[in-house]
């Protein structure tokens, strides 16, 4: 009984956490629509996808920056690999495929784009290759 109550409480917290984040869609070319949770605050960006067990295909997290910057992404607390895309001016400007979480006892890897970006999109690993995403692909971002 206590275990069931704990599981239910955790589920409620996860739902509340997801509801606290903004929502939207990212369209890449004419090939992909990604349903995203939107991280705008420093706290939301720092937490990111850390601690989650999975990220379903077709879903991701979009990090929004007020001005173009070179946002560093790290895999602290991650439990699954990601593809990471940096976006500026409605185009993909850089990406990393298959960024792996650290093994036990390892420091997390850090990923820095080659140029400034206004957004970072994290999606399940394999996304870039499966959809043939390339640098300069057009991106439309629709936020609630």
Domain residue limits, the chain: 23-143
Percent of the chain with pLDDT over 90: 75
CA 84/CA 34 separation, integer angstroms: 13
CA 119/CA 113 separation, integer angstroms: 11
23-143: which CATH number, 2.60.120.1140, 2.40.40.20, 2.40.50.1020, 3.40.50.1100? 2.60.120.1140
CA 125/CA 137 separation, integer angstroms: 18
Q: What is the pLDDT of residue 21?
A: 76
Q: What is the pLDDT of residue 37?
A: 97
> Given pLDDT bands bounded at 50, 70 and 90, which one contains residue 18?
very low
**Mean pLDDT, residues 92-112:** 93
């Amino acid at each position: 009984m206590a275990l069931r109550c704990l599981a239910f409480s955790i589920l409620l917290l996860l739902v509340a956490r997801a509801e606290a984040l903004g929502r939207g869609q990212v369209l890449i070319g004419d090939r992909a629509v990604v349903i995203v949770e939107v991280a705008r605050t420093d706290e939301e960006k720092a937490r990111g996808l850390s601690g989650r067990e999975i990220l379903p295909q077709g879903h991701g997290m979009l990090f929004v920056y007020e001005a173009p910057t070179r946002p560093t992404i790290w895999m602290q607390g991650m439990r699954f690999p990601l593809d990471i895309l940096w976006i500026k001016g409605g185009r993909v400007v850089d990406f990393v495929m298959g960024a792996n979480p650290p093994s036990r006892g390892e420091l997390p890897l850090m990923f820095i784009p080659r140029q400034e970006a206004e957004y970072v999109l994290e999606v399940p690993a394999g996304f870039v290759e499966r959809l043939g995403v390339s640098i300069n692909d057009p991106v439309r971002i629709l936020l609630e």
